[in-house]
Structure 1
Amino acid sequence: MAVPKKKTSKAKRDQRRATWRRQAALQAQRALSLGKSVLTGRSNSFVYPEDEDEDED
């Protein structure tokens, strides 16, 4: 017979949400930092292929 699960406490719920938000904020910060470094040309870790001969027909 199906039995309902125990209710998760608000503290545990808030703790999980805080972890998810912290991880998302960190990823957003890293993405923004990488984007800025690529646009300024100061990136050493990101390889962006530049096509020198684009119009070859």
Structure 2
Amino acid sequence: MAVPKKKTSKAKRDQRRAHWRRKAGKQAQRALSLGKSVLSGRSSSFVYPTSEEEDEDEE
């Protein structure tokens, strides 16, 4: 027969949410940093097509 599970405490719930938000914040910060480096042209670890390469493909 099915038995009801114990209720999760608010502290445990808040701890999980805080961890999730911290991870999301780190990812957002990384994405912003990568975007800034790509726009400034200093990126060496991110490969993307440039306008020069696109012109060669069209011919």
Q: TM-score, normalised by structure 2?
A: 0.84
Do structure 1's residue 9 and structure 2's residue 9 form an aligned pair? yes
Any unmatched runs of 5+ in structure 1?
none
Q: Which runs of 5+ in 2 are unaligned?
A: none
Aligned mates of 2:58, 2:46 — CA distance in 1: 25
Q: Note the aligned Cα RMSD (angstroms).
A: 1.2
Q: Hey, what does 1:47 align to over in structure 2?
A: 47
Aligned sequence identity (%): 79
What is the aligned length? 56
User: TM-score by structure 1 length?
Assistant: 0.87
Runs (4+) off by over 4 Å: none
Larger RCO, structure (CA 8 Å, separation 6 or more): 1
